[in-house]
Structure 1
Amino acid sequence: MLPRTEVLSLLRSLGVDLPRKTKLSDQELDERLSHTLDSAQYITRVVPNPSLDPNAYPSWFRDSSNQPLLKAVARYNIQEASMNLKSRLTGVANPISELYSNSAMDLRQTLVTIGNGCDTGRFSMVLQDEDRKNGICLRVLEVKKFDKNTPIFLVLFQPSLSGMVHRGSIQWISDQVSAGTARNLLNITATKQEQDLLQRILYANSERLAPSYKPNRAPAEDSFMLSFLIPVGPLEANDAAKYNANDGCSVCGAPASQQCSRCRAVKYCDAGELSFTSKFCQQEDWKSTHRPICNSVQNAKWTSITFLRADQPRPGMYGVRMNRLDIVQHDDDICQRPETFDSSKLLPPLVNTHGTAPFTVKVQVSLDGTEEILVYDEKRTFEALLLRSESPDPTKFDELARVVRSKSSSGAKMFLYAIRTGDWKMDVCLDSFPLHQEW
C-alpha cells in the first residue's frame, strides 16, 4: 500500500480534493484511489462484466480506416478541448499540458506516447524516472478495437521493486540487445508517482482479463504479468461529484454535529470524546480559511432560492444535455441523450459536494430579458437553473437578479456565497461578496 500522503497527492492529481486532514482510514483512501482510477478509465464502458475477453474484438490494425492510436487513446473533456483551442489560437501554452506537474496528466500523455509508439511499430518500451531508480518494462502484445475511439492495449509488464531492477527485466532488455531490436525500444520518462498510477491500473486490469486469454511470451517474459490498458482521461461530472463529496467536518471529514457559533455555516467534528479534536479543527480552520468568510457572512443578508438542475428537461423542447466535463471522445454516448423534454420527469438532485459549508458560485443572468438565472461552482459539480416562472416567490428571483445587474461590472455575472440547504434549495448571500476569481 502506498504512503498516505502519496495517495492523497495522487487523488488530487485525479481531481479528488479531500479535506486537508481527512479522517478516512488508509484502507478507505486506498480504495477510493482504486475506484477513482476505474472511473478515469471509464472501465464500465469496456468491461461491463467481470472479465474482458480480448478474442471477442478485432485487431485495431485490421482496418486501415481506423484513426492513429496517437489520437484514439487521447481523452479530454469539453472544458479541456476549449482550453486547447484557446491555446492554439493565442499561442499561449496551456498550463494543463505542462509535463511533470500533475501525475494523472503525465499518465494520460504517456498513454498517447505508447499509442504513437505502436503506430510506428515500436511495441517494446521502458518507463523510468530521471534518476533511473524506478521503472517498468512493458511490451504491447496486440491492440484490439472496442469502438472507433477506444483501443485496448494487451500488454506484458514487469515493474521494478522498491528501486531494485527485477532480474526478469534485465534479461528482457539483454535479449532485446542480442536480437538487435534494442534500437526500437521506446524509452519514456515517467515520474515515480506516474508509475505508481500506471502500476495500480495494470495490476487491477490484470484481474479483469478472461483466463482463456493466453498469448505467447518470449522466454524472458515468464515473470511478466499480463494486463491491458485503455484510454485514461478526466473524471466525468457524476464521478467528480461523488468522490469529492464531504458532509462532515470541513477540516478532517469526520462525522460532525457542531457548527461555527458565529455564522453557523460550517460544521466541525462531534463533541464528547472528540471535543478536543473538534476544537483543534475549528481553530485551525479559523486561522487558515474560515475567518474571512465568517466575517463576511455573519451578519449578511441571505435569501432562500429554489432551483432546478441546469440540465432539467422542460416542456416543448428537444435537445442534448451536455456538461463541460463530458468526454469529447464519448460523443456517441452524448448523442444518445436526446429526448423530448418533459417537466414531469424530474432528474435526481445534484450530489452535494459542499455539505452545509458556504461556497463560492458564479451567478449569471440573461441580457435578453429571459427570466432565467444560471448558478454554478468552480468545478461545475453544482449547476443550477433558477426560473422565475417556477419560483415559489418570484420576488426573491427578482432581488437576486437585481443584485447581479447592479453590483457586477458586466451587469450579467458575479461571484456570490451560497449554502446548500436542501436537495432543491440554497441560500444566497446578497450583500457580502467574495473577491473576483478567474474561472
Structure 2
Amino acid sequence: MDLRQTLMAIGRYWDIGRKWFVIMEPGGQGWGRTINVRLLNVYALGDRTPVIVLLYRALSDAQRWTSEEWAEAQADQNGQHEMATIKSTTLEQKLLLKVLSLNATYLPADYSPERGPTEDGFQVSLLLPVGPLSFGDVGKLNRDLGCAVCGKKSDNRCARCKSVSYCGDECQRADWSDHKQSCRSIVGGTWRTVPFAAMAPGTEGMCMSVMNRLTTTGHTRTIPVSTPSDRAAPPKNVHGSNVFLVKIQVALMTGRPQEMMVYDRQKSVHVFFTALGAPAYFEELLAEMRGPRGGYDGLKMYRWARRVSDWELSVCVDKEPQTEIKW
C-alpha cells in the first residue's frame, strides 16, 4: 500500500509539471537514504494505463553531497528552486528499487535518454500502476532485493553473515552503520541443524488454510496437507546457501506442543519441526520461544535459518534478529 502511495505521488508531480524530485526517509537528521528521480515522459498503454519513464539513482546518507549537487543542477536547469520530496521508508525504497530493476528489462536495449552532467550514475526504467499485492507476492519481491543500498543485481554477500548483498565496497561501507547490528546478531550465535517434515503428525489427508493480517478473502485458498509420499520431492530451495528469516510458531492450544510450523515469508519453505524428529533441539527451541528472546506470549518467534539439506534447516537458536521483520 505504501508503494502504491509513492507511485500516486510520482503521478501527481507529473500532472503539476514537476519533473524532478527526491524520495527520502521521513524525519531524522540529514537526508538519509534517497532516490533521485527525473521524469522523462508518460506514455499510454491502452486506454487506462499510464507508463512513466524515468531516470533514477539510489544514494546513501554518506553520498548526500552527490544527491544535493544533482538537486542544485536540476533547480538551475528547470527553474524550480524549491526541492520537491516524497517521504518513503527504507523498506519502501528497497521495494521501489526492486520494481524499477524488474521493469528496466522491458525497455528497448538501444533506449538511452540524454543525461545531464550530474547524472552519470543514473539508470533508466519505467513504472506502471501497482495493484494490491498478496502476502506471497510481497514475499517474492523481497526475496532478492539486490544491493542493499542501490538495488543493483549482485551475488556478493556480506562475508560475515551472508544475509545482505552489495554491488561493491562503496555501498557496503555506506551501509555498515545500518547493517552492523543485524550482522552481529547472526555471527556468534548457536546454530542447530533440525530435521523437518512436510506435515504435522496426524494431519495426513487433511486440508489447511494459512492466513495473517495481510490476507484478504480473495487470496485465501485451502490446500491439501502433504502425505508421506511427498518426501520424494522436498520443498524447493530458493535461498541456496544464504541465510533467511523464518517464523517458528506453535498452535494456540492446551497441553505441551508436539510440533512447530516453520516457514519463510513467501512460503517457499513451509514445514514442521516435531518433538520426535530431534527431541533435544525441539525443547531448546521451545524454551527460546517462551523465554525473553521469544515473545508473542510464547507462541512464535523469528530466527535466521539456512537450508543445509533437502530435509534439514540450520537455525540460529539464541540470537533474536536485529532487523526489521518484513512479515
Normalising by structure 2, we get a TM-score of 0.50
Q: Which has more radius of gyration?
A: 1
Greater helix share, structure number? 1
